Amino acid sequence: MAEPLRLKATSASPGIASGPAFVAEPVEPAATIPSSVSGQVELASAIETAILELQELATGTDPDGGDIVEFQIEVLRDPTLTEATGARIEAGENVAFAWVGTLDGYIRELECSEGDQLRARAVDLLDIKNRVLSVLTGTPVNDFPAGSIYVGKDMEPSRFLAHDWSAGGGIVLYAGSAVGHVALLARSRSVPMVIGAGRVATARGQYIGVDGDAGLVILEAARWNATSVEHCAPSTGTAPPLDNGIVYTSDGTQVLLSVNVNAPEEIDAIPAEVTAGIGLMRSEFALMSLGDAANEEKQFAIYRHLLDWADGRPVTIRMLDVGGDKPLPGITEASSLRGIRLLLARPQIARVQARALLRAAVFGNLRIMLPMVTFPSEVDAMRQICREEAGELHRRGVPHRTPPIGMMVEVPAAALMLDEFEGADFFSFGTNDLAQYLVASAREEAGFSLDQEQAVPAVLRLLTQAVRLTGGRPVSICGDMAGDPVRMSGLLAAGIRHFSVAPARLGAIRSALVGLNADGTKAAGD
Ligand code: PEP
Ligand code: MG
């Protein structure tokens, strides 16, 4: 029998998989923000759908429930609501945020009113707000068949996250980078992935294989040795000890090991006792649409879930790092802005998230982390937003707490000036972006992995200097460099004592650390 054709590619996530190819069309640019006219039409139709849903609900409910639903329908038909929202849309707000802003105004008034009955109505309005919001933003994600091998030029993180990987499958990208966003998601979910495969000559439905260990694409994989094509079950090696993520170097220095979390369900399979907590939660991978970004209740539930899991350990939630190469569908007018710059340019997004975080902070050891910070004024501006939202929550009598607010150090200008960031309570090095901006290289491009490799000495020198500027405030690293055992020596020597890594990397990093001294030298006899 003829051997299957093997194409050399580059490994981006280990493991082996095979299945029918799903050859993707090129990723379409994100939809533009609807104009004020289409925004108003969209709103009217969303309200109509919500009314229909409520009418259906009313038919099967008892008289009390029916009264509540009747009241909600009446409110939805009130033209003052659509007029107030329409005015916000006219002023340039996105329809989802215009709706949320209008309803929040009424909810706050009701919450602060004298009578018990009026105050109780606030919950009904909250229900209406979320019902219309979910209609407005329930954009279906373009999924592909479970168990297939995705083949394409690129892949959107939202597509990865919406897909059911439990039936296996893998990813083959024509170009791409091992530190791209989908690659890091693939590693955290143990989905085999290769990049740099070039235009693979396959068609939809044809059997192909992905060898993420050797960095190969196998064409006509039906003829490939069946034993080697089974999907690899997620493996984290031997179970890590329940040491709360506290590890000691060979000469007795304490080092902390936390985990990076992308989608909230990732933590469900890990006992919190093997970690020192969550060092980075990329909230943009849990909130994949403008609707999620506008949905305070959904966010609050996600953050609480993480805090419950952590059981008192620190949970560092990074505010939405969207824009640039992490687009949030619906926001395209500010595509050059990313991270905190975009949040400050669109404060209505930041305000919803700040409220959800402040409310969740009551339930555990939450810490807010700001993405892509460049200047101290950005931290101060976000602190001010948090202060204002805390004031608002206080006025409404909603339980909340202002947690520590720290920042990612992933822009070289910030790394050089850390002593100027008086408003930051803690720092975490994001070496993926830091390396990208240090060597003027695009993170999602095929050549970036090599550039990043060559950038290591410069990154380490920058980190060494930056650690000295932190003035004793907590400092950690959450970029991919922290999950590479080969880098432990240089990172320890730079003074780093807290590593946050993908859960699957915990074992390898723990083993590397115990064989080293705190200055990064090899332990005697190792
Ligand atoms: C980084 O840049 O190193 C980082 C951790 O952030 P992200 O990978 O999400 O950009
Ligand atoms: Mg980053």
Note the pLDDT of residue 238.
Answer: 62
Task: Report residue 446 as tokens.
Answer: 């095929």
In testing the pocket of ligand 1, which one of 410, 462, 498 has its CB within 8 Å of the most ligand atoms? 410
Task: Report residue 100 as tokens.
Answer: 């949320």
CATH superfamily for domain 246-514: Phosphoenolpyruvate-binding domains (3.20.20.60)
Mean pLDDT of the chain: 87
The answer, yes or no, to whether residue 158 has pLDDT greater than 60, is yes
Residue 431 beta carbon below 6 angstroms from any ligand 1 atom: yes
Note the pLDDT of residue 35.
Answer: 53
Q: How distant is the alpha carbon of residue 182 from its chain centre?
A: 11
Per residue in 87-117, pLDDT (tens digit) is 998 888 888 889 988 998 888 888 887 777 7
Identical fold, 6-21+147-228 and 246-514? no
Strands of 193-195's sheet in order across: 5-8, 216-219, 207-211, 16-23, 149-152, 170-173, 193-195, 10-13
- Give bridge partners of residue 218 from the DSSP assignment: 6, 209
Query: 427, 474 in Cβ contact below 8 A?
Result: yes
Lowest mean pLDDT among 334-343, 373-382, 444-453, 476-485: 444-453
In testing the pocket of ligand 1, which one of 284, 316, 321 has its CB within 8 Å of the most ligand atoms? 321
From ligand 2's centre to the CA of 381, what distance in Å?
20
The answer, yes or no, to whether residue 220 has pLDDT greater than 90, is no
Tell which residue, 322, 391, 401, 399, has the closest CA to residue 366: 401
- The reply to whether CATH 2.130.10.10 applies to domain 39-137 is no
Note the pLDDT of residue 447.
Answer: 64
Domain boundaries along the sequence of the chain:
6-21+147-228, 39-137, 246-514
The answer, yes or no, to whether residue 207 has pLDDT greater than 80, is yes
In testing the pocket of ligand 1, which one of 283, 408, 448, 477 has its CB within 8 Å of the most ligand atoms? 408
From ligand 2's centre to the CA of 459, what distance in Å?
14
Arithmetic mean of pLDDT, 322-336: 72
Query: 137, 409 in Cβ contact below 8 A?
Result: no
Per residue in 56-81, pLDDT (tens digit) is 877 766 666 677 788 889 999 999 99
Note the pLDDT of residue 34.
Answer: 46
From ligand 2's centre to the CA of 307, what distance in Å?
23
Long-range contacts of 159-163 (CB under 8 A, 24+ apart): 160/185, 160/186, 160/191, 161/185, 161/262, 161/263, 161/285, 161/288, 162/288
- The reply to whether CATH 3.40.50.10540 applies to domain 6-21+147-228 is no
What whole-number distance in Å separates Cα of residue 365 and Cα of residue 349? 23
Note the pLDDT of residue 61.
Answer: 67
Residue 444 beta carbon below 6 angstroms from any ligand 1 atom: no
pTM for the structure as a whole: 0.81
Arithmetic mean of pLDDT, 360-388: 98
The answer, yes or no, to whether residue 1 has pLDDT greater than 60, is no
Atom of ligand 1 nearest to the CA of 480: 3
Query: 141, 158 in Cβ contact below 8 A?
Result: yes
Per residue in 9-35, pLDDT (tens digit) is 888 999 999 888 999 876 544 444 445
Note the pLDDT of residue 181.
Answer: 77
Query: 1, 126 in Cβ contact below 8 A?
Result: no
Tell which residue, 408, 285, 293, 409, has the closest CA to residue 346: 293
Task: Report residue 298 as tokens.
Answer: 């959904």
